[in-house]
Amino acid sequence: MIKIALAKGRVASEAVKLFKEIGIEFSDYDMNRKLILRDSSNQVEIVLVKPSDTPIYVENGVCDCGIVGKDILLEDNPDVYRLFPLNIGKCKMCVCGFKGERIEGRKTITAASKFTNIAKNYFDSLGIKSKLIKLNGSVELAPLLNMSDVIVDIVETGTTLRENGLDVLREIEDIYSVFIVNKASLKMKHSKLKPFMNQLKKLKLGGEK
């Protein structure tokens, strides 16, 4: 049995479709609120977790592998193998704010984000001293309520920004899902994991060129 941690929501839905393409079916996915599901051939178990917790389950070895956004890997730098990118979970990490908000030439900036490490590294690279405010969601509120100059956040369709009168000011990084594996599992379960990973890899890969 291979145990795989998947971020609940869009990534899990897209991953379940990928698994179907390689003949692994979860017929009860989305039918109930179960958090652990087994495929019809009893070979793979998916564990549905909060996105930012995905690497924690893999790092601790309770899941052999996981599918997680590059955003979370960059932010938390978990001790797992990052094996290959997948063609799902595509979006961009951006600096956003009110149109015309200046970034260049600033000495300091206040930024709200779920990704304060990514934000700090980015502003450091520009030589701007940043004050970071860590939020766990609805980050767009920060500039609207004048709590920060900008936000550093994921932009997928741009709808949330548009509907809140904000814009992309800078693109920091392309984000996509990455297949990660627990270091011990890769050795201990190699014979089971290898064919599964090879099949997934054969699907059209995204991310790194």
Quick check: 153 binds ligand PRP (CB under 6 A)?
yes
Quick check: 157 binds ligand PRP (CB under 6 A)?
yes
Q: What is the DSSP string of 112-172?
A: EES-HHHHHHHHHHTT-EEEEEE-SS-TTHHHHTTS-SEEEEEESSSHHHHHTT-EEEEEE
Q: Name the residue nearer to ligand PRP (CB basis): 127 or 137.
A: 137
Quick check: 52 binds ligand PRP (CB under 6 A)?
no
Quick check: 180 binds ligand PRP (CB under 6 A)?
no
Q: Name the residue nearer to ligand PRP (CB basis): 24 or 139.
A: 139
Given its phi and psi angles, is residue 42 left (phi above 0), alpha (psi -120 to 50 degrees) or beta? left
Shortest CB 25 distance to ligand PRP, Å: 27
Quick check: 63 binds ligand PRP (CB under 6 A)?
no
Under rule CB under 6 A, which residues in 90-149 are in contact with ligand PRP?
137-140
CA gyration radius, the chain: 19
Q: Which residue is nearest to ligand PRP (CB)?
A: 137
Quick check: 166 binds ligand PRP (CB under 6 A)?
no
According to DSSP, residue 204 is labeled P
Q: Name the residue nearer to ligand PRP (CB basis): 39 or 153.
A: 153
**Environment class of 25 (CB within 10 Å of its CB; exposed 0-12, middle 13-18, buried 19+):** middle
Quick check: 154 binds ligand PRP (CB under 6 A)?
yes
Query: Beta partners for 69?
Result: 177
Nearest to 179 by CA among 93, 50, 80, 90: 80
Choice from 21, 79, 124, 156 touching ligand PRP (CB under 6 A): 156
d(CA 53, CA 30): 20
- Say whether 30 sits in a helix, a strand or coil: coil
Shortest CB 134 distance to ligand PRP, Å: 12
Q: Name the residue nearer to ligand PRP (CB basis): 21 or 156.
A: 156
Contacts with ligand PRP by CB under 6 A lie at 137-140, 153-160
